[in-house]
Amino acid sequence: MALKQCSLCDRKFTKLEHVKRHERSHTRERPYECPTCKKHFSRSDVLFRHCKGHAQNALNRQQNQQQQQQQLNPNSTEDSQTPHPNGLHAEPGPNSAQTPQLHQDPSLSPLSRRRSSQQVPQTNGDSNHNSHLSPAVHVRRASIAQQPSPGDSRLEALLNAAQHLEPSSDIAWRTPSPINLPSDHDRFLTRSQDSMPPPIDPAIDMLSFSPAGHVSSLDQWAFELVQSNHPLPNRTPADALQTWLFPMEGDLLPSNTSHHMAMDSHFDTDGFRNPGESQASPSGSSTSIASRIPQERFARVQSCWPSRHRKSARLMPSLWQNLAACDSTNILSDIPPGVVETPISERERRNSRWGLDEECRDMLQGVLNNAPQPPSVSRGESYGDTASSAGDAGASPGVDGIQFPPAEILDIALEMYLYYFHPTLPIIHIPTFSAKNAPRTLLLSMCLIGLGILGTAGASKFVSRTFPSLLQLVSAELQSVSSGTHCPNKQLRIIATALLTLNLASITGRKSRIAQAEKLYSDLITLAQHHGLFSAHENAPPDALLDEMLDIDVRWKAWSRMECVKRIIFGLLESDGWWAAYLCAAPLIRVETVQVLPPAEYQLYHANSATKWFHLVQRGARIHTTKITPSFLPTPGLKLESTSFRCLLTILQLRIYEANDRLANANGPQKHLEPWRIYCEDLRSRDLIPLLVNLSSSSIDALRTSDLNASVLWHASCMMLGANIRFFELAAGRAGPGPAVAALEDISAWSQTPSARRAVLHAAHIFKLLFDRKVSDIVNPHSVLALFQAALVLGLYIFTLPSTAPTCGINDNCIELLELVDWTGVGHVGLMDNANSPNTPLGFGDGAVVNFIRNGGPFSITGIALEGGYLAARRTLLHCADLMDGMGRWKSRTFSHILHIMSDDLTDMDVVDSDEA
């Protein structure tokens, strides 16, 4: 193996990196390097003496060459005028009377290589006049024909600096600092020895400055010398020489960089060029403090911190102002810039009410063809087909033979969406909606929801195949919102599309589809919180903006855009509650900080013209709503509007989910099964009980004149105060046989408490409300989830009743669980120890209800007396599953399938997670 030898000593090493490391140690030990021979020294004075030897040798060579030239050209005299490097005669400078004139060699001093307009004083050859010059000056008295090596210039500057650092018996003088130089250009040209002390190098006295703003004429070496000798605390001559010899790594510039760029790396030249514009420093200097620090130093410090991830500006602080100034009639319309929005014509309305024609179909097909394929779908598969002009599907197959639907089917799917799903999540402003102007991904999600509601075999299979690609598209769009490149209107459209995609996954309750969309749910809620959509207090209410609009049509369109966003925000709240319940987890929204403006009445939102809308407003319809908070308490006896009531109940239910997850570690199964007990001991949750109980007098009455879904939501919230739903899901088998056995034992003890009997009453009324619904009533997915939870509470309560429990006889006064109840008369009974019912007359058999909650007793459902045990529980579960299967235009497959399994129903042959269903 060949050994490598150090170039500075005789040591040898086996590896090259060892040699380099050893040579670097030489440099650390001897930090001073000679610019001529590259030798290293440990002390600056040793280097100085070494350099003087080089200088003396160079001086001897120059003098010999000068003598030889004079012998060859005896007519040349020392006082003849020296040619300028550019071939011109330099004119005498203004200081020629005081400063000795020298022959300037352009190759020896870098000062002479700067500008052709440089002024060089002339010498007169008087030896007495030059007797005071330093040896460094004699170095410059070389012939103009002499061309030394490039290292001589560096050597010359080194000697000048070393001479200045050498102790001298002369009177001490202060080197002029660049930051203290005056700004007047003439003062540089007319300075005298009386007004300015002598510089380090007499050649500096010949320096000619460019006009203001240009510093290219400054000699870099001279400037570094002046700057390095600027007085600083604790600065020594040796430190100055070392700084000059070994500049900081950031100060070294490439060879092709201009000299003024080199000076910019040392200090802010703006303060040097125009000191009059800088602010005075606290110390009284005319130059600002910031100009004394090199700009390059700030850049180096900046590189030490990681760059901050750029996010888009938050929407809420200027949300209403942006919506009021929006050019689009519908906030969910995607109109390209410069294109005039035209309403759909009557002819187009007759062919397709929503404007979904062949052009829209081709665009939707193109969106799916260009969508990023999920891992389960190969890249070679395509959704495309060759459709005829009439909309008939062509022969070329799509994915697994699935054809892309023709325009007529898509138009029907859009109708199914608007008729059956839109009332549950009315974010689309139908009077100003057009499928031609809608974003393609949003329109595709609407059509897929409609096809899912249509429910045919081909439609269901197409939804199953296209849902993964739609999820990829929406997720990619949602990620792009964080980059901050989209305008607020487009960000809102992307959020609305993601919300509809989440609902497409949840309305079927299908396990695989929900698992795929779980990340989209997390990203969407996180993004909405980042933009402050649940923080209405960050922006003033939009009332004043609307009142300033005098034109009725302009006000109607601006109000509809704001109303659409309010409904999107409310839909996000509902989605968080649904997913928190399904995943058995805490909601992602920070519920304690939520402040929202609830949407207006459904009828007002769907007024199909500005005239009809204004007519409803004149008749008393309210376009402004009161802000809702998690602790909002309505005035007793004052009936809340249905939208405000439903919004408040949604927030309260989110608080229940959050409290159940946060307080899940409380000790004692009895407290676990009766959540209101641990709420009373928790400062953040103790007000939930009075808030929910008092709402019975505001919006829940015996005849159920309030909104169906709001009433179901109130009963579900009260039911969760007395029954911990997590235990009932465990008892049903969510976590397997082991936890199910333990949960059933706990529920058996819970069924003997007043809290259990009140929870059973609320569960029975959920079943009654949905069973007695009208044909025109639209059931939303949250009511379906409430029915599933009610079925678990009611069925497992009946199943765990002891066999010794009293039963209804023919003449016994049994309580019917489905009878109407005036809940204002029940009060806090069952949700408080030793609670007294209000001192109000009780109607509808409320005395029997309060007695049943407190003491128990026999009961019946639809007139059929029920005994405890499996058979009665099985009958109840099957009734709830049958009701769930018949609700809405979709099937909540997972929930109904669980109830069929619990009841051991052999007729339930449907596979819950089959993609073909």
User: Of 368-372, 584-588, 839-843, 900-904, which has the strongest mean pLDDT?
Assistant: 584-588
**Total residues found in the chain within this entry:** 917
Of the candidates 489, 338, 349, which has an alpha carbon nearest to the alpha carbon of residue 411? 349
Q: At a CB cut-off of 8 Å and minimum separation 6, what does 209 contact?
A: 185, 188, 189, 215, 217, 218
Going by C-beta distance under 8 Å and a sequence separation of 6 or more, which residues neighbour residue 10? none
Mean of pLDDT values over 259-287:
44
Residue 870 one-letter amino acid:
Y
Regarding predicted confidence, which is higher, 249 or 152? 152
CA nearest neighbour of 8 among 21, 23, 18 = 23
Mean pLDDT of the chain: 75
- Nearest of 424, 406, 444 to residue 889 by alpha carbon: 424
Helix, strand or coil, per DSSP, at residue 860: strand
Q: CA of 208: how far to CAs of 104, 191, 225, 276, in Å?
A: 15, 12, 17, 21
Highest-confidence segment of 56-60, 111-115, 452-456 = 452-456
pTM of the predicted model as reported, rounded to 2 decimal places: 0.67
Q: Which of 38-42, 510-514, 575-579, 768-772 has the lowest mean pLDDT?
A: 38-42
- pLDDT-derived band at 752 (thresholds 50, 70, 90) equals very high
Q: What is the spatial distance between Cα 798 and Cα 796, in angstroms, rounded to a whole number? A: 5
C-alpha distances (whole Å) from 66 to each of 63, 121, 142, 250, 419 are 5, 20, 7, 42, 106
* Residue 759, domain member (yes or no): yes
Task: Give the span between the Cα atoms of 49 and 166, in whole angstroms.
Answer: 11
Tell me, yes or no, whether 850 lies in a domain.
Answer: yes
CA distances from 837 to 544, 545, 824, 849, 853 (A): 45, 47, 9, 11, 11
Q: Determine the 3-state secondary structure of 113 from DSSP.
A: helix
What does R_g of the chain's alpha carbons equal in angstroms? 44
Separation CA 223–CA 178 (nearest Å): 8
Percent of the chain having pLDDT more than 90? 38
Statement: residue 103 has pLDDT above 60: no
What are the residues facing 40 on neighbouring strands?
Answer: 33
295-304 average pLDDT score: 86
Terminal Cα distance for the chain, rounded = 75
Return the structure tokens found at 444: 């595709």
Note whether 200 and 160 are within 8 A (CB).
yes
User: Strand pairing partners for 77?
Assistant: none
CB 489 within 8 A of CB 326: yes
What is the DSSP track for 62-76?
HHHHHHHHHHH-TT-
433 located within any domain: no
In this structure, the strands spanning 859-861 and 815-816 are parallel
| Least confident segment among 114-118, 309-313, 440-444, 674-678 | 114-118
pLDDT recorded at residue 725: 94
Residue 155 has pLDDT above 60, yes or no: no
CB distance 357 to 409 below 8 Å: no
The residue whose two tokens read 């009725």 is 552
The verdict on residue 767 lying in a domain is yes
**DSSP output for 450-518:** HHHHH--HHHHHHHHHHHHHHHHHHHHHHHHHTTT-S-HHHHHHHHHHHHHHHHHHHTTT-HHHHHHHH
The answer to whether position 76 is within a domain reads: no
Give the per-residue pLDDT at 912.
Answer: 45
Inform me whether the pLDDT recorded for 202 exceeds 50.
Answer: no
Using CA atoms, how far apart are residues 768 and 737, in angstroms rounded to an integer?
Answer: 32
Question: Lowest mean pLDDT: which of 133-147, 649-663, 892-906?
Answer: 133-147
For 494-516, what is the mean pLDDT? 90
Quick one: pLDDT at residue 885?
A: 85
Neighbours of 54 (CB within 10 A): 18
Contacts 24+ apart (CB under 8 A), 870-875: 870/799, 872/798, 872/799, 873/795, 873/796, 873/798, 873/799, 873/903, 874/795, 874/902, 874/903, 874/904
Q: What is the largest CA-CA distance in the chain?
A: 151
CA distances from 538 to 270, 279, 528, 535 (A): 42, 38, 14, 6
Task: Answer whether residue 889 is part of any domain.
Answer: yes
Please state, in angstroms and rounded to a whole number, the distance separating the CA atoms of residues 68 and 592. Answer: 97
CA dist 315 and 308 (Å) reads 20
Structure tokens at 177: 């600092």
Structure tokens that stand for 384 in this block? 């495309």
Q: Which residue has the higher pLDDT, 293 or 764?
A: 764
Determine what percent of the chain is predicted with pLDDT higher than 70: 63
Distance CA 674, CA 832 (A): 11
In which band, very low, low, confident or very high, does the pLDDT at 486 lie, cut at 50, 70 and 90?
confident
Distance in angstroms (rounded) separating the CA atoms of residues 760 and 607: 41
| pLDDT band per the 50, 70, 90 thresholds, residue 88 | very low
Please tell me the number of Cα atoms within 13 Å of 86 on its side-chain side.
12
**Over 60: is that where the pLDDT of 204 sits?**
no
pLDDT of residue 911: 47
CB distance 125 to 84 below 8 Å? no
| Mean predicted confidence (pLDDT) in 122-151 | 44
> Is the model more confident about 232 or about 338?
338
Whole-angstrom distance, CA of residue 252 vs CA of residue 262:
8
∠ at Cα 182 (181, 184), nearest 5°? Answer: 140
* pLDDT tens digits, one per residue of 873-891: 999 999 999 998 888 666 6
Count CA atoms closer than 13 A to 917's CA, side-chain side. Answer: 16
**pLDDT at 416 exceeding the cut of 70:** yes
Query: How far apart, in whole angstroms, are the C-alpha atoms of residue 628 and residue 578?
Result: 20
Is 80 a member of any domain?
A: no
| Continuous segment of H or E residues that includes residue 12 | strand 12-13
The answer to whether 451 and 462 are in contact (CB under 8 A) is yes
Task: Determine, yes or no, domain membership for 439.
Answer: no
Domain range enclosing 711: 669-836+844-905
Q: Total structural domains in the chain?
A: 1
How far is C-alpha 710 from the chain's CA centre? Answer: 34
Residue-wise pLDDT for 450-462, tens only, equals 999 988 889 989 9
User: For residues 586 and 240, what is the distance between their CA atoms, to the nearest angstrom?
Assistant: 65
Q: Which residue has the tokens 């929006």?
A: 326
**Quick one: pLDDT band at residue 375, thresholds 50, 70, 90?**
low
Q: What DSSP string describes 518-565? A: HHHHHHHHHHHHHTTTTBGGGS--THHHHHT---HHHHHHHHHHHHHH
**pLDDT(850) > 70:** yes
Q: Which residue has the higher pLDDT, 826 or 372?
A: 826
| Range with the largest mean pLDDT of 247-261, 376-390, 701-715, 753-767 | 753-767
Overall average pLDDT of the 482-491 stretch: 84
Phi-psi region of 391 (alpha: psi -120 to 50; beta: other; left: phi over 0): left
